[in-house]
Structure 1
Amino acid sequence: MGLLVDDKEFIDAIIESSDLASGIQLIRLFVTLLLMNTMSRPDEVWNKTWKLLSDDILYQKKRSLKIEDAHIQNLCLLQVEDLLISNEMSGMHCSLFQSLTSEQVEVYENILTAVLSEGITSLLLPGGKTAHSTFCIPLLINEESTCNIPQGSLKAKLLIETKLIIWDEAPMINTLCFEALDRTLRDIMRAESEENALKPFCGKVIVLGGDFRQILPVVKNGSRYDIVKATVNYSNLWKHCKVLKLIENMRLKRHTSIPSQTEIKEFVDWILHIEDGDMELNELGQGSIEIPKEILILDVEQPLLQLVDFVYPSCINNVTCDGSFDNGAILCPTTKCVDQLNEFILSLIP
């Protein structure tokens, strides 16, 4: 019937779907059309619909940064190619991707790429991503694994232009992930210069942040030796690292009064005392912790109510206000505690 001759049906399909679908759902639709390989001019469809596809990206990025349309397009194209790669197909054959140069791929992440090891924490950073998502690290990893980033792809161009990578909570990640990224960078950067293959991470500055006293990599059915072997400081890459220790607590600078600084310092020292294991432990590594009376809620009829009011002042009055729960959190050690807290807060709301 000639409906697909000029790709108008594809463009109309995306436009009609945009009334109900989110940006990422439209991206998946666009990728599906690419996988069907029935569009005669993918770049034409892209030029007519990219603003609809990048709606979510536009919202996220423009909240904190002023970014030009060209940068938004490139960020959206990166998501398109990620989905193509996950379907074992590279987008480099499309005229849509071939027209891009490394200069056009330069967005603010090219200078600084910030990733985190854990998904929940990545939500705390504007535009934050996990390391597995950013570097396409395989979930089932071994000593020969590499990241799923093809030569010449947009993500490869992004890594080539990246000058600094900050990887937080590094001690939580299996060292095989760092080694996979190292092998991938050497392979990608070899196209620029063979000398790059001789340098750890191809000479790029990698800042690994974290605390080895916190959670180490999870090794299924692993022994203590297996867990230690999986940590980054066991890797051959560690000999190229320079260890820098943070010695000043920046939170103390937020409080001008000397009593507040003193109280916070005492609390921080107490936490470090626990983390360092400076206590009497039994043969199983277990010990008793005495909680200072200063941080306990005593002599109050409803201690939970006082805790909620302390963390979320005027909770009932502000429950419908945007952002009223953004600047505070009550950490619960068990699921049962979470359920009890939720039931209590809901009971306060009329």
Structure 2
Amino acid sequence: MISRPERVKVIDLPSAFVRTTVEREGEPGAAWLAELPGIVDELLTRWGCVPDGAVLHGGVGVIVPVRRPADGEAAVLKVSFPHPGNVHEPDAFAVWGGRGAVLLHQRGDDRFAMLLERAGTSTLEQLADGDELAAVAGRINRRLAVPAPPGLPRLREQADAWEERLRVDAEELSHALPPHVVGEALATVRELARAQPDTLVHGDLHARNILRARREPWLAVDPKGYAGDPAYDGGTLLKAHAVTLVEADDLPKAVQRALDVFAESAELDRERVRRWAQLHVVRAAFRGRRHGFRRARRGPQLDRILEFADFLAELLTRPPAGA
């Protein structure tokens, strides 16, 4: 029988997580971090769990490996910083019920917390490349594409803001994106983004959010929980995956191959996936100029990433008429 001491500090917060949370959230982040060990202890008591390994973290939350003494089952306790973008993650898991994603055992919306099935720590990005990565992600995308329940944010409701942001960025920022590249991104917003189906989509499906698991070979984690076009997630995947292809002998061929394999595996229209990917990359190129990227906020490394983003945006854009 496993037991744990009463009311003691049960976790040490990773220093990198503490630093990035304070940098991103300021005083509210620091206040939440001060409360976080007590929140974890409260949730362990609520759900009858004990810690079972080192604390991990993502961008906005900690992951505490745990076991439930009642049945010995391995799980993880996830606690996220309270933010509107984290609200619908448990809703998505509840709808999927373990179909292509980790199982939701318990939810504590008051604490932005969940008790989840424990998957591995190895990601699709680490364990696969080329066709396998695109094919696995496509199969996961297809399995997650189920009818969305009421109450989830609809991606189509963001279309006006996307269009306005693209127009402002194109006018205000110094950039190398040709007019026809920005024009195609705007056309995608008008033609695809405003009329999307009520299908549940992950919202941040990339290879680092697909983990090796035991119940199924691969399971998705960290969904945003949107209703929209499944091809939107194809764009998210390909935007992130392209960074890993930068050393390819023939980058254009490698990107087109990834598009082909993903679209076939996901059973999606390839052209639709390409257009969403192009929009994602154009928006990322502009956003990076304003805010930097997680990999680099400033300096020569940021310049190199922006140069690659611009190249990728052009690569994913149809040639202008007459070219």
TM-score, structure 1 normalization: 0.28
Greater strand fraction, Structure 1 or Structure 2: 2
Larger Rg, first or second structure (1 or 2)? 1
TM-score (norm 2): 0.30
